[in-house]
Amino acid sequence: MESLQPIEALNLHESGTIKFEVDIEEIKPSIQDTSHCTPAFLVPNEQFPLITEPDKYDYSTGLKLEPPPLSRFNDVDTLMQFAQKWAKGHGYALTKKNSHKGKNVCLACDQYGEYISLKGPNQRQSTTKICGCKFRLRGSIPSPKDDSKDYQTSWNLLVSSNSTEEYNNIPEKIKVNSNDYSGAWAYISNSLLTFKKKFVTDWTSQNHHLGNQTRSCVESEHSYIKCFINTSNGELSTVFKNFKKEIDIQLNHIHHTMGKERVHKLTDVSPLFKKLLGTISIKAIKIIEEQFLKLKHQPNPQPCSKTLMNGMGIPCSHEIEKLINNKG
């Protein structure tokens, strides 16, 4: 006896087809020669029959416990009817294990799964038929490849480029992925890449951004204004008056945070940075502390990109090392 290996049916029907897959693990039929079974990837697509009327199919063919033949279907309901009728005629039963509407369906043997006793394995008193059968039957609707994902991935890589060399290698990929989108590459090269120094990381990291590298600085404010106006119940004149109050509240919150950081000081900070307490933000002190610890655990750091100093005005581990050496 030998167990059947997983068999997968290829997509045959070009439109509205169901991808049919039979997956069998550790099933040992009592009387069956599996030498006639051919893996699906070796079978040409046109050899799979299209089954549209399961009631007229001859289910007397095949041996006991044999899986359904590789086939193609126009809808999920037909696939399920055929699979269940075939299983009934060959000594087993199939039940729906899980499904996703418009995408795929998975059928499993009614003895699929493992029995878990609440009283312990030695105290089992149950008539359950669950025995861990590994038979599974899957049907899925193939979805076309979305080329826009490749385009979006290339664009994200371009925006996050950390070096000029890395940036120069990406536009060609975007150009290739934009072939199916009329005018897309022309718009990107003429309108967007002209302002690359405004949004590509390699250039924005060389300017004081204080940790805010949002590509659209006003987008969040636009969203806040729209949300405020949509939820307001008063007249238009009162809406703008109340909106001005909301802006004042935001500014007061910023001043409150700054004042709070001057009063509540860190206690677990290195003596080297104690004089900075109350003069710069707690976040900045934590970043400096992190750079100092990096220098402590890594005496010979990698070449400096100067992005931390240029972007946030905070000395990196390289600058801290220079200051310590000059003082010593």
Separation between Cα atoms, residue 244 and residue 240, nearest integer Å: 6
In which element (H, E) is residue 240 found? helix 236-263
Do residues 5 and 41 make contact, with C-beta atoms less than 8 angstroms apart?
no
Structure tokens at 52: 């549209």
Which residues pair with residue 140 across a beta bridge? Answer: 19, 104
Structure tokens at 316: 């990196």
**Model pLDDT for residues 28-60, shown as the tens digit of each residue:** 333 344 444 444 444 445 567 888 888 888 888
Predicted confidence at residue 10, as pLDDT, reads 32
Predicted confidence at residue 46, as pLDDT, reads 55
Strand, coil or helix: what is 99? strand
Which residue ranges make up each domain of the chain?
7-140, 148-251, 271-327
2-37 per-residue burial string, b: 16 or more CB within 10 A, e: under 16 = eebeebebbebeeeebbbbbbbbeebebeebeeeeb
Predicted confidence at residue 158, as pLDDT, reads 84
pLDDT, one tens digit for every residue, the chain (328 residues): 333 333 333 333 333 444 444 444 433 333 344 444 444 444 445 567 888 888 888 888 888 878 888 788 888 788 888 888 888 888 888 877 777 776 677 777 766 655 555 455 555 455 555 655 656 666 666 565 566 677 778 888 888 887 888 888 887 777 766 666 667 778 888 888 888 888 888 888 877 776 766 666 677 777 778 887 788 777 777 877 887 888 888 888 888 887 777 776 677 777 777 777 777 777 888 888 888 888 777 766 677 777 788 778 888 888 888 877 777 5
How many angstroms separate the Cα of 303 from the Cα of each of 135, 203, 208, 258, 299? 57, 18, 21, 34, 12
The pTM of this model reads 0.40
Predicted confidence at residue 42, as pLDDT, reads 40
Structure tokens at 100: 């996703």
Separation between Cα atoms, residue 58 and residue 307, nearest integer Å: 72
Separation between Cα atoms, residue 57 and residue 86, nearest integer Å: 9
